[in-house]
């Protein structure tokens, strides 16, 4: 079976720095893949290349067997690659409803002209669904940036849900969350993997070990190791790179 995502020889150079170096990265359908590694290992850059925020210096990216290397960010998002930012990136000043509606209506109508004909009722049904799923139904009309940080994170999850992605990239989703909130988030992530493939960048090892089906370890822009959680946890090379001992 073709993997959902596959990169071949992917590289990104910033001036003299090779941030991502010849990376072959494959994720099969339905998997939760964790990417770990020390700061500056190139994890976020790699995700930037996959989501189309950055253009690669070399290499190829294919999504569901199709070459998407030359597609722009919005085209990739439209075909199902959804990226959530490291820092929350909601639309400040808009209500929670509006935030999720932007995701919902994009899913309901692909082209700009289809947007014109869109019925608000269909959008609002979808928004209500997504907000209810993450437990934010009670703050629908509140300004998104007035929510506590953990709720803003959940709002982002709701936006991702409303988009119905095929590949969801979560960049350090538990950063800044309290323990209870982390548990809720993990539940949501696990609940959607029936239909969605997830790539998660994470520093919190308990979360990684609990969620991931498979772990990729990166260091200095390259893939250092890849394997099941138990295997990776026992790898001495990984421990040295990651824990710096």
- Where on the chain is the footprint of other proteins (CB under 8 A)? 51, 53, 55, 73-75, 77-78, 82-83, 85, 89-94, 98, 101-103, 105-106, 109, 112, 115-116, 118, 120-121, 123-124, 141, 159, 163
Q: How far apart are CA 36 and CA 147, in angstroms?
A: 29
Residues facing residue 5 across a β-bridge: 27, 63
What is the smallest separation between the CB atom of 44 and other proteins, expressed in angstroms? 14
Structure token digits, residue 237 = 């090379």
- Answer whether 131's CB lies under 8 Å from 96's CB: yes
Identity of the residue, 141 or 236, whose beta carbon is nearer to other proteins in the bound complex: 141
Identity of the residue, 105 or 197, whose beta carbon is nearer to other proteins in the bound complex: 105
In sequence order, what are the residues at sequence separation of 6 or more whose Cβ sits closer than 8 angstroms to the Cβ of residue 224? 37, 217, 218, 237, 238, 241
Q: How far apart are CA 181 and CA 14, in angstroms?
A: 36
What is the smallest separation between the CB atom of 56 and other proteins, expressed in angstroms? 13
In sequence order, what are the residues at sequence separation of 6 or more whose Cβ sits closer than 8 angstroms to the Cβ of residue 74? 52
Identity of the residue, 109 or 214, whose beta carbon is nearer to other proteins in the bound complex: 109
Identity of the residue, 123 or 212, whose beta carbon is nearer to other proteins in the bound complex: 123
What is the smallest separation between the CB atom of 116 and other proteins, expressed in angstroms? 6
What is the smallest separation between the CB atom of 87 and other proteins, expressed in angstroms? 11
What is the smallest separation between the CB atom of 51 and other proteins, expressed in angstroms? 7
What is the smallest separation between the CB atom of 230 and other proteins, expressed in angstroms? 34
Identity of the residue, 118 or 178, whose beta carbon is nearer to other proteins in the bound complex: 118
- Tell me which residue of 8, 59, 23, 6 sits closest to 220, measured CA to CA: 23
CA distances, 231 to each of 86, 114, 217, 238, 241 (Å): 27, 49, 12, 10, 15
Identity of the residue, 30 or 93, whose beta carbon is nearer to other proteins in the bound complex: 93
């Amino acid at each position: 079976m073709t993997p959902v995502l596959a990169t071949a020889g992917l590289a990104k150079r910033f001036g003299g720095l090779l941030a991502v170096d010849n990376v072959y990265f494959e994720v099969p359908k339905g998997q939760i893949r964790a990417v770990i590694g020390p700061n500056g290992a190139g994890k976020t850059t790699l995700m930037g290349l996959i989501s189309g925020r950055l253009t690669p210096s070399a290499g190829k990216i294919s999504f569901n067997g199709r070459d998407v290397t030359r597609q722009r960010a919005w085209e990739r998002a439209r075909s199902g690659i959804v990226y959530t930012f490291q820092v929350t990136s909601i639309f400040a000043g808009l209500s929670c409803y509006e935030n999720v509606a932007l995701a919902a209506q994009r899913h309901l109508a692909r082209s700009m002209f289809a947007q014109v004909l869109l019925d608000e009722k269909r959008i609002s049904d979808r928004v209500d669904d997504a907000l209810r799923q993450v437990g934010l139904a009670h703050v629908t009309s509140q300004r998104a940036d007035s929510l506590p940080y953990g709720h803003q994170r959940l709002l982002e999850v709701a936006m991702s849900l409303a988009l119905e992605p095929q590949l969801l990239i979560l960049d350090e989703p538990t950063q800044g969350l309290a323990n209870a909130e982390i548990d809720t988030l993990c539940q949501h992530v696990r609940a959607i993997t029936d239909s969605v493939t997830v790539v998660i960048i994470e520093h919190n090892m308990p979360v990684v070990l609990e969620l991931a089906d498979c772990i990729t370890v990166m260091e200095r822009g390259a893939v250092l190791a890849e394997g099941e959680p138990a295997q990776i946890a026992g790898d001495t090379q990984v421990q040295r790179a990651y824990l710096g001992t």
